[in-house]
């Protein structure tokens, strides 16, 4: 997550495999999410909803 002045934060996610060592993953494979399209009215709710979606 990256915070900016006078702009919504930038949220990036990537797929991580628990069976794969972190050294084997390629850096820079992040997907930038559209902050305005995330469900929730505040940053905390948006992140909470995002985590619950990614968990299931």
Ordered DSSP codes for 6-54: TEEEEEEE----TTS-GGGSPTT--EEE-GGGSSSSSHHHHHHHHHHHH
Domain layout of the chain by residue ranges = 2-55
Chain segment 13-34, per-residue pLDDT in tens: 887 777 766 665 666 688 999 9
Mean pLDDT of 4-16: 89
Residue 21: CB atoms within 10 Å: 7
The pLDDT, as a whole number, for residue 14 is: 82
pTM (whole model) above 0.95: no
Decide: 1 and 9 in contact? Cβ < 8 Å. yes
The pLDDT, as a whole number, for residue 32 is: 92
């Amino acid at each position: 997550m990256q915070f900016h002045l006078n702009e919504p934060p930038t949220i990036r996610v990537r797929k991580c495999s628990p069976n794969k060592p972190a050294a084997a993953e390629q850096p820079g494979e992040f997907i930038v999410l559209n902050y305005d399209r995330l469900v929730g009215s505040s940053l905390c709710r948006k992140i909470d909803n995002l985590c619950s979606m990614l968990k299931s």
